[in-house]
Amino acid sequence: MSTTSGSRLRDYLVEPPPDPYTGPTAAEVLAVRQQYLTPGLLSYYQQPLLIAQGRMQYVWDDQGKQYLDAFAGVVTVSVGHCHPHVVRRVREQVGKLHHTTTLYLHPTPGELARKLASHLPQEISSAYFTNSGSEANELAVLMSREHTGSSEVISLRNAYHGGTQGTMGLVAVGTWKFPSNPNLNVKHATPGYCYRCPYGLSYPSCELKCAHDVLPLIQHETSGRVAAFIGEPIQGVGGVVVPPPEYFQIVYEIVRRHGGLCIADEVQTAFGRTGEHYWGFENWGVEPDIVTMAKGLGGGIPIGACVTRREIASTIKSRLHFNTFGGNPISMTYGLATLEVIDDDGLQRNSLLVGNHLRGRLEELQQRFSLIGDIRGKGLMLGIELVRDRESKEPASRELLQVLELARERGLLIGKGGLHGNVIRIKPPMCITRSDADFIADCLAEVFQQLAPHP
């Protein structure tokens, strides 16, 4: 890794340099972006980073500096940047056919749907392909409302389900950029966020009050029947919030008792990322009615999917509904090749082994640096919550921005999240090695030492 002068981090393996970058400079790209693109776009770092090339778990900027991508392009690059198997398969398809709508037949959508079904519970086998996770979640809610005849949906505070009006409306007031739209008939339940329990309780003596509170929410704030409950098995953008093991079992039972379907938003947790299981919901011993996915299924190619039981999927037959781009052969080939790599390269097991090693190293840092309030996550989906004081748990939001900048200087790209913007998100491509995990931990150790030299 390219690091600061004198750092022991330079002892880690440096990949062969990529082809020289000959495009416009970062300053030129930024100027065009500021003039012609929406000002609503977010960017990391005081000086936005221009990523020019990628290879597996590494990326290079316009100056040829190498970084370990420990954020996987916002949890998107599951098998690595430009994986040779994926590149070969997609190149072959590009030379045959770029596009066909769902109005015509092509073998790739059915092949990908069959591949997904082989990993899902037996009855969850009817797939509808979309362009994004936002669209997949919109479709899941639509199906639920059509199937149940109810319009009311329950989602969790601190959640994230996409960037469309409908999926933003699934989020509680004040959580992200926009407030919930009251016209969408969405009610918000309490997530299983043990580190910041809103009731001031501790697990397990809390008796899962957060999960049981879904019942009075339904009884007092809805008509008594709901269309669906939607939840991430582990909240991603919300700060890698891992619920108690029984949480979803309790919530699913209450929701189904009141006529609702259960939607698992697997956009960030799917395809073996959590290590022990292929799907995030499997960690909690539940079986959803609808599973949505995107991001890691395409590694950056626009793709999403909503998979459910056939009787639920059949509700779409009552509407004139087709998709211009969902199921296009390029995206479908990318998804197929990605799932093949995950299975053939054993990336789920790698997520477990390397993730456990990395978590152990991070927990060692927690003993050394009081800035670290909580370590949580599963497999290669890990979060580090930073606090200024472990007793008050005051969020260390400004400090996290410093961590991001200092890590970048040392050749490490990480993410941030959480309601207060104080959670480091570590979600690298699932092909990272034990050596990469050590680099992440050693880099963060240097950064924390610079920020807080006296633990």
| Model pLDDT, residue 438 | 96
Tell me: do 352 and 340 sit in the same domain.
no
pLDDT exceeds 60 at position 369: yes
**163 residue type, one letter:** G
- Nearest Cα residue to 79 out of 449, 380, 401: 380
Average pLDDT over residues 88-109: 90
Q: What tens digit of pLDDT does each residue of 245-265 get?
A: 999 999 999 999 999 999 999
How high is the pLDDT of residue 233? 97
Q: How far apart are the first and last CA of the chain?
A: 27
Q: Which two tokens stand for residue 305?
A: 């999917």
Distance CA 271, CA 179 (A): 31
pLDDT of residue 320: 65
Local confidence band at 412 (pLDDT 50, 70, 90 cut-offs): very high
Q: Based on the domain organization, do 361 and 336 belong to the same domain? A: no
Final residue of a structural domain among 317, 344, 371: 344
Token reading at 337: 């090749």
Q: Which residue has the tokens 């890990």?
A: 382
d(CA 276, CA 375) in angstroms, rounded, equals: 18
Q: What integer is the mean pLDDT of 227-251?
A: 96
**377 vs 315, more confident:** 377
Kindly tell me if the per-residue pLDDT of 444 is higher than 90: yes
pLDDT tens-digit readout, 316-342? 887 767 788 888 999 999 999 999 999
Question: What is the number of domains present in the chain?
Answer: 2
**Which residues are within 8 A (CB) of 79 and not within 5 positions of it... i.e. 6 or more apart?**
86, 299, 338, 341, 342, 345, 347, 429, 430, 431
pLDDT tens column, 181-194: 656 788 999 999 99
Count Cβ neighbours within 10 Å for each residue of 27-37 and write b for 16 or more, e otherwise.
eeeeeeeeeee
Range of the domain at 411: 8-20+47-69+348-451
Task: Name the strand (E) or helix (H) holding 34.
Answer: helix 26-36
Please state the separation of Cα 303 from the chain's center in Å: 14
CATH code of the domain containing 62: 3.90.1150.10
| Structural domain contains residue 337 | yes
DSSP class of residue 235?
B
Query: Domain boundary residue among 344, 370, 395?
Result: 344
- Last residue within a domain, chosen from 294, 324, 344: 344
Write the burial class of residue 5 (CB in 10 Å: 0-12 exposed, 13-18 middle, 19+ buried): exposed
> Has this prediction a pTM greater than 0.85?
yes
Question: How far is Cα 70 from Cα 408, in angstroms, rounded to an integer?
Answer: 11
CB atoms within 10 A of CB 232: 27
Residues 271 and 376 in one domain: no
Same domain, 356 and 419: yes
Residue among 308, 383, 379 at smallest CA distance from 158 = 383
Lowest pLDDT segment from 37-51, 108-122, 199-213, 247-261: 37-51
Phi then psi for residue 419, to 5 deg, are: -55, -35
CATH number at residue 99: 3.40.640.10
The verdict on 53 and 100 lying in the same domain is no
Asked whether residue 37 is domain-assigned, the answer is: no
| Same-domain status, 178 and 255 | yes
Sign of CA dihedral 449, 452, 453, 454: negative
* pLDDT, tens digit, 9 for 90 and up, residues 5-27: 334 555 555 667 778 889 999 99
* 319 and 364 together in one domain: no
Q: Distance between CA atoms of 311 and 317, rounded to whole angstroms?
A: 11
- Specify whether 310 is located in the same domain as 380: no
The CB-based long-range contact list for 384-390 (8 Å cut-off, 24+ gap) reads: 384/423, 384/424, 384/426, 384/444, 385/195, 385/239, 385/418, 385/422, 385/423, 385/424, 386/422, 386/423, 386/424, 387/422
Report the pLDDT value the prediction gives residue 73, as an integer from 0 to 100. Answer: 77
Provide the 10 A C-beta neighbour count for residue 269: 30
